[in-house]
Amino acid sequence: MFLGLPLGVVIVAVGIGTLAVVIVGWFATLFTGRTPKTTRSLVTIFLRLTIRWRAYTFLMSDRFPAFEFDETRDDVIHLAVPDPTPMTRPVVFFRLLLAFPALVLAAILELGILVVQVVMWFVVLITGSLPEPVHDAYKAVFRYSARAAAYGFLLVPTYPWGPFGDVAAVSGMVGQQPAVEAPAGWPEAQRSGPRPWDIVLSHAAKWVVVVAIALGIPSYVGLQVIRTLSSPTYQRSQLIQANNALVLQIGQYETTRRACHSRVPCLESNDHTIAEQLTAFATTLLRYSHSGIDPATQATARSDAVNLAGLFYLAANAGPTMADYQRTNDEAHVKDAELALQRALDQLQHALNNA
């Protein structure tokens, strides 16, 4: 992974440019029915670099990947791109929606393979090579991933297939596979007979793919949950809920305090309740610290909430007499702390409304 880092950086840069070109190319393809040559070229380069990087970093080969944009004689893994074909406009219009299931499956497979590779790294370190079933499973998974990206990026009209490899040839024919001609430029010797990209997985290799899916599904779900929880939009929504809830809780506190009629146990219980609610509010502010609003405003509200919670905890143990309770509140300047928190909450509400 460390040695492959330079090419990884190049892939990220090319990938950003590819995404921008594909967005523009989508409009052109929608109107003309053909993917622009520039879009096809950049997507091809991106996929070629990516599969080279994967072959090297996943220990399928120890040959250092080339930085060349074209096919090279020393490539250990090849990308065959069919000639341009007309695109159906309705399919292009809904391409992202149609490609979504395949892209999700590709992401699940890649995450699962990444987990498998953690174990395989030690295996290769000891034995010097990947076990053949794992090697073959990697080929099928990475081929499917490239096909999914090629479909989503408008490079080909064919929906991705083959995560479990190809169906074995029977009587010289390969069943249940799209009829794909060998791409232009391939040697004539490879344009007849078994296709160079056919991968027939053994039973053990298919089980490796199954394990990758089983490991990839919880990994994918976990990443989506983390992404959602860490998004500024989600965090702001949680802060808005917490802020609104605290406003209601403060109102309930005032109502209960008036209903206590100077009964110290009632007042102390009420103080303890609001102290816990203020502490929970401060914890929420700390948990969602990447909400996109002014950090100083959020920090001030958290500090004032913690300060007032401490004073209410103190008041909750101020008795036993009303005089003791009142003296504790006066000495702690609870009213001043309440006003400070109210100002902080107003500023926080303003920041949330404008975020």
Q: Each residue of 72-93: pLDDT tens digit?
A: 777 888 888 888 889 999 999 9
DSSP state of 155: S
295 and 188 part of one domain: no
* AA identity, residue 240: I
> According to the model, what pLDDT value does residue 168 have?
63
Tell me, yes or no, whether 265 and 308 share the same domain: yes
* In a shared domain, residues 170 and 39: yes
Helix ranges, the chain (H) = 5-32, 37-57, 89-93, 95-127, 132-152, 203-230, 232-260, 264-287, 295-315, 322-332, 334-354
pLDDT at 87: 92
Q: Give 77's contacts (C-beta < 8 A, 6+ positions apart).
A: 51, 52, 55, 60, 61, 142
Which token pair is 50? 């990516």
Q: Are residues 126 and 255 located together in one domain of the fold?
A: no
**The total number of structural domains that make up the chain:** 2
Whether residue 188 is found in the same domain as residue 322? no
Do 45 and 192 lie in a common domain? Answer: yes
Range of the domain at 65: 5-228
Q: Which residue has the tokens 């096909």?
A: 147
Whether residue 253 is found in the same domain as residue 197: no
- Residue 149's nearest CA partner among 105, 83, 194, 203 is 105
Sole residue written with tokens 């070109």 = 21
Q: Which residues contact 211 (CB under 8 A, 6 or more apart)?
A: 112, 116
- For residues 57 and 196, state if they share a domain: yes
Residue 164: how many other CB atoms lie within 10 Å: 17
Q: Give the angle 143-100-177 at the CA atoms, nearest 5°.
A: 45
Residues of the chain with pLDDT under 70: 168-196, 355
Residue 212 and residue 343 share a domain: no
- Asked if residue 112 and residue 36 are part of one domain, the reply reads yes
Asked if 25 contacts 39 with a C-beta cutoff of 8 angstroms, the reply is: yes
Q: Which residue has tokens 């590709």?
A: 106
Task: State the pLDDT at residue 64.
Answer: 87
Q: How many CB atoms lie within 10 A of CB 316?
A: 20
pTM of the model: 0.72
- For residues 155 and 81, the answer to whether their CB atoms sit within 8 Å is yes
